[in-house]
Structure 1
Amino acid sequence: MKNLFLILAFLFLSGIINAQTIKFSEDFESLPIGFDTAGTANWNRSSTLQASGMYSDSARVVNPGDSASLTSTIFSTASNPFVYLEFDQICKLPWTNDGLIQVSADSGQTWISLTATEYRGSGQFGAVGNRFTAASYVDWLPGSDTATPQNSWWKHEMFDISALVGDTANVLVRFTVKDGYSTGGLGSYGWLIDNVKVTVATDELDPPLVELLPPFIKDTAYFTGPFDILAQMSDLSGIDTAYIVYTYFGVMDTVGMEITAYDTSNIQYRKGVIPSLPFDSSFCYQVIVIDSSGSSNITRIPAISCQQVEIIRPFDELNIGLGGSSGYMAPMYNDSINGTKKHSQHISLIKANELNNREADFVKLAWNKMNSTGYLGSNAQLKIYIKHTSSDTVDIASGSFAIAKTGATLVFDSTGITIPTIDKLIEFNFNADTFHYDGAQNILLLAEWYRPDTLTNSQLTWQYSTTPGRAVTFAGSTINPTMAYGIGQLPNTIIYSSPKIYKFDLGVSEIIAPQPLVIGNLAQDIKVRVKNYGSDTIQKMNIHYNIDGQSTQTYVWTGSLNRDIVTNNLVIGSEALISGSHSISTWTSMPNDSADMYTANDTLSSYFYVCTQKLSGAYTVGGTTADFQTFQELEERLNHCGISTSVTFYIN
């Protein structure tokens, strides 16, 4: 696949070289440059900021009434009706100054100002008077006239000047900066230009319109793929080719983007699939679309470089308690601004089934703070402990906290706690030790709290559920308080865990087909993706499925599937299906001819509806021999399949 698309890319680029010609270009890297300057102010080559290379050109207004023009040498677009002007710029001009662009078709005897009609960029141009100023882009800081530009401010601009100077012998381009209101430059940096280029062609030069569609793969992925890249694209000439170029550990590869649907005759929806890659790695990708014109115009997303994606292993979230109550007693007692009960000790009991009875390492937890009161002293003390227990209830007697703490693992310890003044989930990353949960027992979660100073307001509250026998908080003015509060107030808690990795652990991760709605009466492929959750590379496995709970079909897969990797789409069977609602269940077994060591993630199920054809003609409703036994069945068919011609229903 890589070689095929690299060859295609070479051929397309060769075609572009033949179809497009650069008639004028200037990157300001060497003297003399291909521009002349005129006016009361000057354009000067600058090495301070540049879009590429070492130099750009720049001009600024200093005195009231100043102006400066940068005019290209003459060039010809003869026999080329399509002409594009491109350049890079930073226009740090105040609102009272103008950055104007003009073209001449008669060696400079007359000039035509470019307008929004020709503009193909993304900045504010036509709306601000067919000119560029600092207001053209937000990151040019239009509210600060004296702000110094950064090299990250460069913008690439494009104008279609075909209607103005297409197929013309004596063409000029001119950039002019001028004071439009006699205010001077107001201390602004000026206008910087780089990489000016005029391209001509015998065919249109408009690149295809391309928009990536959700779900977007950007910055960070918390799964190992495969990564579906979806895009909508269109061009008046049609789309010739679309593909994805991606790099992984410095190796470049390509995948094609297949058409999935048409919106109109001119709009296509395409999908490309980057294969599964492991956690703790990264890849970088770019979507490339080429139109069908003679110029083979290209759109790249992103336009420069590629989209970097980090693949990060997520933590499992175990949600304990979904109560809607809030109070100041648990897990940390904070009753009032100047309350004297500044010491508290809390115990929660969490049951094994709430922890999914799965062996795991606990790495952090969170409690849900419910109001705007905070503690900003940066000196509060918090210790969190966890221990296994065979008990189903907590002891609420005085001194029970010390007993519960015996043998517990200290997982969090800080003397610099601040609680923010907003309602939010407060996370505590374990900084003393992780806790290895055995997957079988209940656990006790203990919190020891002390705040030396005052709260920002009355009562710092946390969300909890009332669960008798599962929680207690002791609070007072001294260490090891004895007065019990909040009995049965179990804080809503999230425990983040890294599950145990088993040697053999497979599971169906996605049902690709059948889709929720199946149209047609042909046999349907059964397609799935399977993930290797285990530590060993899988070379053989069984994949099973059944339709509507009927006979089970088995597909034997052989190959190589590394840890955390997901297969590409696997066709595991084919079924001829009748119209109506159906269900499918699919699961894995026997990785490397061994027992799967964790079966809770093996199986996926879904529902789908089959329309063999639209309704047409006469149908009966009601009774065991009718076309539709119930009105509900008829309604489902109508909603999913629709009608093609006149339909008559006979009701029994």
Structure 2
Amino acid sequence: MKKILIISGLLAFLFFELHSQTTVTTQNFDGTVNWTVSPTGSWISNSVYYVSSPKSYHGYVPNQLKDSIILTTPFYDCSAYGFVWLSFNHICKLASSDIAQIEIQENLAGSQWKKLPSSCYLGSNPAAYNQQRFNQNSYNDWQPGDSLATPTNSWWKEERFDISAEAGWGIVRFRFKIIRGSTIGTQFTYGWLLDNFELRGGSHELDPPKLTLLNPVYKDTVYGVGPFNILANVIDAEDSLLKLTYAINNGFPYQVIMHKQGVDLYDFTIPQQVYGTNVDYTVRAEDSVGNYISESHSFINIRHPNNPGFLNGAAMYSIDTPHTVKVVANVTLPVYIKIKNTGLNNLNSAVIYWSVNGVMKPSYNWSGGNLPVDFASSSFYLGSYTPSLGYDTILVWVKNPNGLVDSLATDDTLSFITYGCNTIFKGEYTIGGPSGSRNFSSITSALNELSYCGMSGNTVFKIYNGTYNENINLNTPIEGMGQFDTITFVSASGNTDSVIIKSNAVAVSLAYVNNIVFKNLSIDVINGTRGIYFTGPCENIEINSCKIKANPTTTSSTNVCIYKSSGTGISDNIRIINNQLDGGYYNIYFYGGTGSSSRASHMIFSGNLLTNAYYYATYFYYNDFDQLSDNTIRSRLTNTSSYFYGLHMYYCDAPSITRNKIHIPSSILYPYAMYIGYCNTGTNTAAVLVSNNEIILKSTQNSYGMYIISSRIDIIHNSILAINLPNVTNMGIYISSASDLTVKNNNIVATIPLYINSLTSLGTTWFFDYNNYFSPLGYIGYASGYVSTMSNWRSTTGQDAHSVNVYPSFVDTSVNLKTTGGNIVCNSLSNVTTDINGLSRGFMTTMGSYHDFILKTNNVMPYRLYSPGDLSIVGANDSVVVSVVNIGSNAVTSMKINWKVNGVQMTQYSWAGSLAPGDTTQPIKLGNFMTLPGDNEIIVYTSLPNNQTDQDVKNDTIKTSTYGCDSLMTGTYTIGTAGHFATITDAMIRLKACGIAGPVTLALFPGLYTENIIFEDSIRGCNATNTITFTSTTGVRTDVIIYTATDSAQDVGTIDLKNVKNLIFKNIAVYGQHRSPMFYSKAVMLRSGTENITFDNCILLIPTFVSATNIPGQLSVVYNPSGNPVN
């Protein structure tokens, strides 16, 4: 396209030019709509809401769960275009469980529909489409908290997609699809409204640069002669070239390249012009592929009516040099100035006078010649002066314009003050120490000189041994600091303990500074507030090998070792390495950025020892890490909070979190060793690798080794020990939510090793295997209920095919979680090739953070027992099936497999074949056995690999048990010393294992039963006819008292029911927790899925006293947690 410069006299004008693009199709739904609707009537015209009047198109949410409705476009021919852009306006009022998605299909045989990738989304809110879907959560304007809210026309949002990769050079069509989820009632949301669908194509990248002229924008009438500085902001990934074209009084156009002043900032100055000059100018930004945009204006300049009307006048315009306040003392400097004509006659001569500190200098007769009205002269040399040490005042004034008296004297004078410095800092300087060998007696005097004089190169302040009761305040940019210049504060002796900076307030304050290093220093704010306080944005700050001491007994949030609060800007390239942070409410509190999309980048937090924090060892928000590793965190032993967080991070990305040790003692009620929320959630962001971490925590209440929320995360080779009291809910890994999740090769010992909050993503984006889950209470984990056996866990989750549940042989848990390495062996993974100590893992290794496996020559291990299952039929011929893994360095060609059933040695199995190192056999059937009533124990152990002695017998054995049911239960059974069952627990085991064939009554002999009746799932055979009744043998309700066996810290009812129906409790007394201190006491807990439960002539009792620590919902006779539907 040929560019034409349009001149319009005094009228300003603005126009934009774009590279040639073609509109392939548009649809505003105001006329005929040739799109296909399925099913019929699910999409209709809407005249209430629209962008282009008078109509839009409206899709309704399907009535049936998991149903869908579709609106399909015709095929569109984009075969002539390499670049294609889709845009439309919409309101998507769908519940969060429902999905609105856009799909594309090529006109090719066998081509499938596919969702538009998140990577091509160009809309205003990247988070709106980060899961390739829209719903009411995409924008706050759509009121996500109120599903029944009615839209308004202010809700419309424009969405844009660069679909060049999907549609370029092709023929495509689109469809808009609403998919109903599995939540009841969401069909009453308003639905999906569409308007202004448009498809554009072109031969170049479709997005032109974005050009903005910054104030002042010269147009129309402009006062003054200039010069006129044109300032432009350009945003473009293709690195635009900016050109300025300007013409004076419709003359020949001048074309220049504008100067780049910053990342997106350009400028050029149009020279001074006499009054009455017409100036036309155009700024054009063109990217490397030829797209461009331009903006043009025209103006005429006139004299301001308030300017003086004298014939002859002169004014001081500027002192050009010296141009900095800080100068080097005793080094002669030139003085250059400009003057201005303020009279109506041209200025041909003037006399300039000047002085330094009141001492007159030789005057200067200027005769620059014929300077037009209000024009400034060129810069000219006035003379020179030698700065003294300290302040100098330069005073300059002009007189006698054109040899006459100046009619206006108020603008004749300018002054400039300089400060003469001993030096402009560069090199090494000493602080403290002997007076004859030091540069500065104190840190304050050195910083004062630095603030006055600035620097010209790398500067190191070596601080002599001693305690310095003063502060380091660096809160403004340091003059003269180059991009690669640094300032280092370091102990002169290299000994961290020898230099102590002590403050009763803030020891080090930083804002708006870059390239600062603190090394081998001690910072003491035990009686102060903050050790290092970032009060504003900073960049490239390193804190290395320092000791920062806050108050180790404080409970005040103002006492912190390192602190940066929210709203203090973005601080990039912060490195905190090999430090000791002791005490404070937080060891470190760091809001690196200002929001989830404005984060600090390239942060390193590595090799630090964090101790004695009150509430948080670390509190990271809006930080993207390059490294987060090798830190040790130890909580306080005394004066503790009820809550403690070791590694706490929110909206942070990191490639890995590795080799960290977190040890938390038992005096803390609710510890969280790692709390990771909303990390690595970007569409193209890889999962954070959490590996080789060691977590030891104990608690008298609820604790969490790892607590994961909405993150993309791989949890590999971690060791977690989280047990204390046997009835406390200590969780190893708690998965609240996650986008992508892998949990492998971990060693987890906890009362609840793994807690999964949802089963939806298992096998699709969540994967678990080769883990050890051990609980002293016998749990594998929680997945829609507590699961006690590996076989049930596998059937519930579809995961952990090769995981085990054994107690690992720890060497000394008071020191670390090293094991003897025998019974938790697994294959190594390519992304974790070393352990917490840097040892190479080899092809076989140990689950957990330590590589404790020692490779032997001949070593085999039973790997998995496939049969029998948890339940067997008494008298049946059940089989024992096992697989064996070769964990030695030699291939195995033979071995013996031995087995026992209920202590009886069975016939040895001789295996022959070829088993390479690291390989596992196919399932091997060892033989059959006759199942006895109750528990049957099966032990399998290997021997004589390659007819040699097995070199590690600690891992040769695997055990399981199966419960033998002689019949389905029916009729009446007694419980008590002389009954069919000694305890309620014994009866519950058989009831859950074997099920029932008719109505069952469990009659309890008189007495006190310290047990819980807990149902977490339905009983086989139990229905409205075949009910289960718990009652007393005497029919007297005070004769049988059932009292909870759980600790008061656990929120568990004496009778605790979930997903169970058709139970009757009759003529018994049920007591909740009565011990003090009291946290929870509930006689009956009715959880979700509970139905048709009868309590008849029972006593349900909790204590009448209430502790001050109790809150509503902790004490209740009968309690139904919020949101749990029961009938």
Fold-level similarity (TM above 0.5): no
TM-score bin (small chain): 0.3 to 0.5
Give the TM-score normalised by structure 2: 0.27
Q: Which has the larger radius of gyration?
A: 2
* TM-score under structure 1 length normalisation: 0.43
Structure possessing the higher relative contact order (Cα contacts under 8 Å, 6 or more residues apart):
1
